[in-house]
């Protein structure tokens, strides 16, 4: 049978294994990703299967990991780098934004950079700062990078393979709070292209959109709203850069209202971009302003306060109520 049930972490593991089986030029790099299998065990078993020549335990040096991957890509390899936690990515930020994102453009398309950077990100795991942040907007702002984030095991399985197959660098943001819940994976049929926006739940009165772990929160809000007689359409962004706008605009033209939700702070964010673009391109379809539900514009708080900082279903539903009140 083509349908298997697995958590998102194992779906990424299975996708990595398939990519490595299909292409001997695919190799993995990162801190503790070898025999240990990474902090979240996403690469568990791959070192034993493919050897230490293709699953490389690196020094604790993110700049070195990315710089080495760039050199390998120049020699025809397809490196997949793991950043252990999203907050550790900043030592490699210069390599990513100043070199990796620009090399293809700098060489007028003659040099490809088929590098995937896997980034566990987001909250809901009871950790401290630098372990629960959402820095995806930094990279979506950087021309030359593709930025994606799966919310389901099925998407994780297929999107990691599509990212590895891309000749452009891909920032692959993995919602770590969704690593463990299980879901169905169709290992034979890929349902959507890498950068497609998906309709996770159909509705008629309000459109809500998010990415990564936020999609689960939006679906919870839609369930509660349905019990109260309100029909919410839930969109899963999936790709943060580029954004597939047509499903978003079609949904807004249908419902007339849009709420954008994310874990990251709201100022100059992915939610800001979606709100601005929808207002520009679907203004006459809107029955109310586009509303945003986001993390607060502060550093991520101590773990005991994460439930206050992170948007939940109640905050989403409060925004839905405001949108319907106009």
DSSP secondary structure letters along 59-112: PS-HHHHHHHHHHHHHTT-EEEEE-SSGGG-GGGHHIIIIIITTHHHHTTTSS-
CB-facing half-sphere around the CA of 172: CA atoms within 13 A: 30
Give, in order, the Cα–Cα distances in Å from 229 to each of 123, 204, 222, 225, 226: 30, 11, 10, 6, 5
Find the Cα–Cα–Cα–Cα dihedral 292, 301, 85, 163, rounded to 10°.
0
Which tokens belong to 307? 């439930």
Residue 131 designated active-site = yes
User: Which is nearest to 173 in space by CA: 156, 152, 149, 141?
Assistant: 149
221/273 Cα distance (integer angstroms):
23
Rounded CA separation 263/235 (Å):
16
- Annotated catalytic residue within 107, 124, 130, 131: 131
**Paired sense of beta strands 116-121 and 146-148, if any:** unpaired
Contact 224/288 with Cβ under 8 angstroms? no
Q: Please check whether residue 318 is in contact with residue 307, taking contact to mean a CB–CB distance below 8 angstroms.
A: no
Tell me how far apart the 2 most distant CA atoms of the chain are, in Å.
Answer: 60
Catalytic positions, please?
131
């Amino acid at each position: 049978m083509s349908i298997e049930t697995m958590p998102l972490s194992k779906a990424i593991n299975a996708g990595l294994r398939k990519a490595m089986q299909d292409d001997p030029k695919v190799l993995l790099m990162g801190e503790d990703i070898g025999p240990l299998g990474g902090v979240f065990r996403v690469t568990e078993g791959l070192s034993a299967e493919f050897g230490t020549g293709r699953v490389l335990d690196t020094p604790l040096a993110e700049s070195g990991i990315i710089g080495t991957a760039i050199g390998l890509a120049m020699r025809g390899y397809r490196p997949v780098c793991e950043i252990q936690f999203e907050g550790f990515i900043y030592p490699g930020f210069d390599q990513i934004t100043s070199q990796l994102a620009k090399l293809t453009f700098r060489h007028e398309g003659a040099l490809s950079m088929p590098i995937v950077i896997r980034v566990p990100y987001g909250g809901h795991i009871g950790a401290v700062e630098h372990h629960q942040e959402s820095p995806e907007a930094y990279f979506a702002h950087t021309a030359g990078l593709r930025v994606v984030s799966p919310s389901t095991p099925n998407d994780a399985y297929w999107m990691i393979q599509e990212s590895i197959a891309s000749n452009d660098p891909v920032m692959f943001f993995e919602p770590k709070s969704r690593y463990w819940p299980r879901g169905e994976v169709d290992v034979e049929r890929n349902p959507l292209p890498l950068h497609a926006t998906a309709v996770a739940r159909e509705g008629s009165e309000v459109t809500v959109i998010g990415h990564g772990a936020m999609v689960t929160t939006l679906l919870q809000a839609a369930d509660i709203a349905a019990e109260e007689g309100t029909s919410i359409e839930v969109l899963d962004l999936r790709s943060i850069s580029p954004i597939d706008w047509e499903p978003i605009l079609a949904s807004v033209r249908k419902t007339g209202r849009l709420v954008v939700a994310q874990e990251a702070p709201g100022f100059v964010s992915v939610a800001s971009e979606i709100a601005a673009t929808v207002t520009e391109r679907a203004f006459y379809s809107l029955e109310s302003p586009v509303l945003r539900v986001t993390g607060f514009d502060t550093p991520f708080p101590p773990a005991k306060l994460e439930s206050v900082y992170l948007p939940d279903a109640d905050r989403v539903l409060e925004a839905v109520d405001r949108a319907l009140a106009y």
